[in-house]
Amino acid sequence: MQDIPAVMIIFGGSGDLAHRKLYPALFNLYEQGLLHAHFAVIATARRPWSHAFLQEQVADAIHEVNPEVDEEHLTAFASHFYYQSHDVTKVDHYVTLKNLAAKLDQKYHAQGNHVFYMAMAPRFFGTIATHINDQRLTSTGFNRIVVEKPFGRSLETAEELNRQITACFEESQIFRIDHYLGKEMIQNILPLRFANPLMRQAWNHEQIANIQVTLAERLGVEARGGYYETAGALRDMVQNHIFQIVTLLAMPEPTDPSANAVHQAKQTLLASLQLPTPEQVSQHFIRGQYAASDRTFAYRNEPNVAPDSTTETYVAGQIKFTAGPLAEVPIYFRTGKALKEKMSRVDVVFKPVKSFYGEATANYLTIEFDPKNCLTLSLNGKQIKGPGLRQEQFTYALSDYETSIVPDGYERLLHDVFVNNSVNFTHWAELKRYWEFIDAIESAWQAENATGEPAIAQYPPYHYGPHSSRKIFATTDMKWIYG
Ligand code: NAD
């Protein structure tokens, strides 16, 4: 692998994301030689840490995920880390940062290449982008910026943030990260659809009855009630992760696997995204909040949550496109907190056929990507004794060994940033469509909230969410495949 020269500046270097994800990912890229002699990382945050203390923190982060690590390699890796105490709102701090980056660029022969990573609370993204521009932090080599989620909280705020970032960076230099796009089974969706004749032939509106996407979490909001009150399940999960998955499931085949071709195919699909009317929102979307259990609070009683909060911890709904391979096929989704178990999966439900061999059930294909990586195909087969059909399931799961070598999503995506491959990042044109859809639902909900009687189901925690979620289906005989 190449030794890519670069100075990386992480805004939020003392935070959870940097500690749990970015430092271990960078270490693995270092071990693979992608980054080696010519890189330096500047971690910034408000605390007054020293370089040595940051290096200890980086070493701790690696030990937590890899206790058997080669200590010599780790010490050498950590020596590339520098700390800069920095308040993102103070202009003069950017000048200090710029000088340190220039010094490290010289020391490591980084060829003027800069990667900026916004690993902070999203309310700071715009301020950071503005100061990177004002203080000319970009350098003479490549300049790339990685932006964490959420990218705005409505189309309007996303547009404003995009304006601030594009003042300094071109679209091709902006990497809007969604770590779901780094997951093994998500990256497997396009090869599964397009490298198998069986799937290619069947993946269309003639054969597929509906698709169901479930992103369920066992945990409630924990200590993040304050943040969650400003987001809700729709903005937190649907606007990014669910839409990315749905786009991969419904897009036409790209002309080749390049980032340009894949984004082109996604945008062709998204041009036909149906935006729901307020009537459709009330018919096809369900929102809910988790109630209390013996040992846990109801959402409305969590710390920093308003007792009359209308923020949803659960949402189920449908997405439809008017064109593409799945034109008019309902794609149902649901996501929520305090549900039965952590489970991320897609169920593709095929149309059933009439058979004189017996009562044939609908075939379905399940793609599970969290906590397991597996595919299950259900088919009809004959009963061993007597007449009729039975449903048989074929499961392909990654072995323990295969699972152990799957890189973490952040490692994959950081790798892609360094090699300049944006195939698994969100293009502005896509993000814009996602927000248009989310805004349509939010505005219908706000109108409903204003009546004083919003329909927000209180669901018992640690089950499958509100019973009313079934009302989103087109017909009463339909049900969720999972749960
Ligand atoms: P965090 O609260 O743990 O860390 C925030 C960082 O920002 C800290 O280093 C803090 O010191 C710094 N900071 C706060 N105010 C500052 C200021 N005024 N000036 C300078 N530094 C300041 O947050 P996190 O969990 O690491 O999340 C960071 C971003 O990553 C968020 O956008 C989040 O949505 C996203 N994200 C996090 C995770 C995760 O697993 N933690 C996963 C996906 C996405």
Which superfamily does CATH assign the domain made up of 181-407+427-472 to?
Dihydrodipicolinate Reductase; domain 2 (3.30.360.10)
Question: 476: pLDDT confidence band, cut at 50, 70 and 90?
Answer: confident
Nearest atom in ligand 1 to 118's CA: 29
Q: Peptide bond before 150: cis, by omega within 30 degrees of 0?
A: yes
- pTM score over 0.85: yes
Handedness of CA 163, 165, 167, 170 (dihedral sign): negative
Q: Which of 434, 156, 158, 154 is nearest to 273 (CA)?
A: 434
CB 101 within 8 A of CB 113: no
pLDDT(262) > 90: yes
- Which residue do the tokens 């959402």 mark? 299
Protein residue whose Cα sits closest to atom 2 of ligand 1: 15
Strand pairing partners for 39? Answer: 6
Whether the CB of 148 sits within 6 Å of ligand 1: yes
Q: Is the pLDDT of residue 228 over 70?
A: yes
The span from the CA of 183 to the CA of 190, in Å, is 13
> What's phi and psi for 415, nearest 5 deg?
-55, -45
- What is the pLDDT at residue 165? 97
Q: Are strands 389-397 and 6-11 parallel, antiparallel or unpaired?
A: unpaired
Task: State if residue 182 touches ligand 1 by the CB under 6 angstroms criterion.
Answer: no
Does ligand 1 come within 6 angstroms of the Cβ of 45? yes
Instruction: Choose the catalytic residue: 241, 263, 284, 427.
Output: 241
Any catalytic annotation for residue 263? no
Domain span(s) for CATH 3.30.360.10 in the chain: 181-407+427-472
User: What is the architecture, at CATH level 2, of domain 6-148?
Assistant: 3-Layer(aba) Sandwich (3.40)
Does the beta carbon of 46 sit less than 6 angstroms from any atom of ligand 1? yes
415 DSSP assignment: H
229: which 2 tokens? 């009150």
Other beta carbons within 10 Å of 127 = 14
Q: Which residues have CB under 8 Å from 318's CB, separation 6+?
A: 284, 285, 330, 331, 332, 333, 472
Task: Give the pLDDT confidence of 399-452 residue by residue, as tens digits.
Answer: 999 999 999 999 999 999 999 999 999 999 999 999 999 999 999 999 999 999
Question: Nearest CA to 337 among 433, 235, 463?
Answer: 463
Tokens representing 150 are 């959420």
pLDDT of residue 474: 87
Where does the chain hold its CATH 3.40.50.720 domain(s)? Answer: 6-148
Confidence of residue 1 (pLDDT cuts 50, 70, 90): low
Report the DSSP pairing between strands 143-147 and 114-118: parallel
Q: Which atom of ligand 1 is nearest to the CA of 122?
A: 32
pLDDT digits (tens, 9 = 90+) for 120-149: 999 999 999 999 999 999 999 999 999 999
Q: Ligand 1: which residue has its CA nearest to atom 40? A: 17
In this structure, which residue's CA is closest to atom 11 in ligand 1? 45
186 lines ligand 1 (CB under 6 A): no
| CA 23–ligand 1 middle distance (angstroms) | 14
3-state secondary structure of 216: strand
Residues whose CB falls within 8 Å of the CB of residue 423, separated by 6 or more in sequence, listed in order? 257, 258, 259, 262, 263, 416
